[in-house]
Amino acid sequence: MSNTKCYVKLSKSDGEIIMQNKISKELYYQVRNIMKKRWNVREGEYWYPLIENGFEPKIALDYDGFISHYNELKFKKLVKILINEDIFEIAEYDFFNSFVMLSDEFEIYCGSELFWTVNNAEWLIYKSHEDTLTFAGEKALDILKGCLPDYKDYCW
């Protein structure tokens, strides 16, 4: 899968600069197809826990509980250690709002129906409009357990 290394600077509301790049329609569908094969993620449909998909391992959490109790600095450090590649942010319905970013710039934020993964979809994080946050795959679960050891208290 070809991947662009051309990033644009985007500024968040707090003034922090992040590096992101919109992905092409072709790359969006390549990543989508891999997500579908690996995790049964279908374009325009909800994902776990809003629908069951039978794939393991995965854990669904309450987004607000996660955000209010996790250690953001530890999260970013774990992502940087465990995921040394670009991360795709895939919007549920279209490629217009889908991006690729450097792993050290990745963070979870409040969006509606977003997926984060890498080019082989070895792991996946899903944020739903119902304020659930699902971690799937060993690396994602390692990050979750590392930044929020009592994650079970926030299961959805």
Please report whether residue 3 resides in a domain.
no
Domain count, the chain: 1
Please report whether residue 2 resides in a domain.
no
pLDDT, tens digit, for every residue of 94-111?
A: 778 888 888 877 877 766
- Cα distances from 118 to residues 16, 23, 83, 98, 102, in angstroms, run 23, 13, 9, 13, 11
Distance from chain centroid for Cα 50: 16
Q: What pLDDT is stored for residue 112 in this prediction?
A: 72
Please report whether residue 1 resides in a domain.
no
* Average pLDDT, integer, range 86-97: 85
Q: What percent of the chain has pLDDT over 90?
A: 17
Place of tokens 């919007």: 91
Q: What pLDDT is stored for residue 36 in this prediction?
A: 92
Please report whether residue 67 resides in a domain.
yes
Please report whether residue 144 resides in a domain.
yes
pLDDT, tens digit, for every residue of 7-66?
A: 343 445 555 555 568 888 899 999 999 999 999 888 877 787 666 767 778 889 998 888
Residue ranges making up the domain that contains 146 = 8-154
